[in-house]
């Protein structure tokens, strides 16, 4: 769709960017950052190079925006699960991990984009390290709010540290996501949920 002088309209520009981010997410999950080439994305989306650089300053900028899109999806799942106040707080926390597991299943058990890019880039790229550290911190803090509610209800020991517990759960989950990617199986993720609720939270 074009405007009166043959230029793309805002709607088509936004659709192009969405398409690039969608394909970029799938490609980064499958290949990682270093093995993902801009030309591959252009071919897969039939987008000209000029359109790519209209939306993204560089490959790094593109990948960071893919991370932001991915994180928005994760936070959507988090808000849906934790916002279900008819359920007990620990049930809400469990529901979040179950929702993420379902997302991983839809993606073919390729693991966590945050964990994948963190392992690949955090040691060599400050922008990615900061973005991914901030992402994990934001998720942990939301989980910690629900865990604090559970502690006040007596569902967790009085001496439990909700934020430390949330961090520990996420660490275990990311390890399980990496193993799930290797096996292309939900089993490590299912085990991580069970172990968290049998050991970490008791």
Q: Are residues 72 and 45 in the same domain?
A: no
Q: Are residues 191 and 95 in the same domain?
A: yes
Q: What is the pLDDT of residue 11?
A: 53
Q: Are residues 112 and 188 in the same domain?
A: yes
Q: Are residues 117 and 165 in the same domain?
A: yes
Location of structure tokens 């993606």: 107
Query: How many other C-beta atoms lie within 10 A of the C-beta of residue 5?
Result: 5
pLDDT in tens, 17-56: 999 999 999 999 999 999 999 999 999 999 999 999 999 9
Q: What is the pLDDT of residue 1?
A: 40
Domain boundary at 14, 33, 56, which? 56
The candidate with the shortest Cα–Cα distance to 134, out of 111, 112, 118, 116, is: 118
Q: Are residues 134 and 45 in the same domain?
A: no
CATH number for 71: 1.10.357.10
Q: What is the pLDDT of residue 200?
A: 72
Q: Which residues of the chain have pLDDT under 70?
A: 1-13, 202
Range of the domain at 146: 58-200
Q: What is the pLDDT of residue 5?
A: 35
Q: What is the pLDDT of residue 201?
A: 72
pLDDT in tens, 1-22: 434 333 344 454 588 999 999 9
- Three-state secondary structure readout of 127-188: HHHHHHHHHHHHHHHHHHHHHHHHHHHCCCCCCCCHHHHHHHHHHHHHHHHHHHHHHCCCHH
């Amino acid at each position: 769709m074009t405007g009166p002088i043959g230029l793309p309209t805002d709607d088509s520009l936004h659709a192009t960017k969405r398409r690039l981010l969608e394909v970029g997410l799938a490609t980064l999950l499958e290949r990682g950052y270093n093995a993902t080439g801009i030309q591959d994305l252009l071919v897969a989306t039939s987008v000209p190079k000029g359109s790519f650089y209209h939306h993204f300053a560089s490959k790094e900028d593109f990948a960071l925006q893919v991370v932001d899109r991915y994180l928005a999806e994760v936070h959507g799942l988090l808000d849906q699960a934790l916002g279900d106040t008819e359920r007990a707080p620990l049930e809400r926390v469990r529901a979040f991990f179950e929702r993420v597991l379902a997302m991983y299943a839809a993606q073919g058990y390729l693991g966590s984009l945050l964990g994948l890019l963190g392992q690949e880039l955090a040691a060599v790229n400050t922008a990615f390290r900061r973005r991914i550290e901030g992402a994990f911190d934001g998720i942990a803090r939301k989980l910690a709010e629900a865990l604090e509610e559970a502690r006040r209800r007596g569902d967790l020991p009085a001496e439990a540290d909700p934020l430390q517990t949330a961090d520990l759960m996420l660490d275990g989950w990311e390890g399980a996501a990496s193993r799930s990617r290797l096996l292309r199986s939900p089993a490590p993720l299912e085990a991580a949920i069970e172990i968290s609720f049998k050991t970490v939270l008791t």
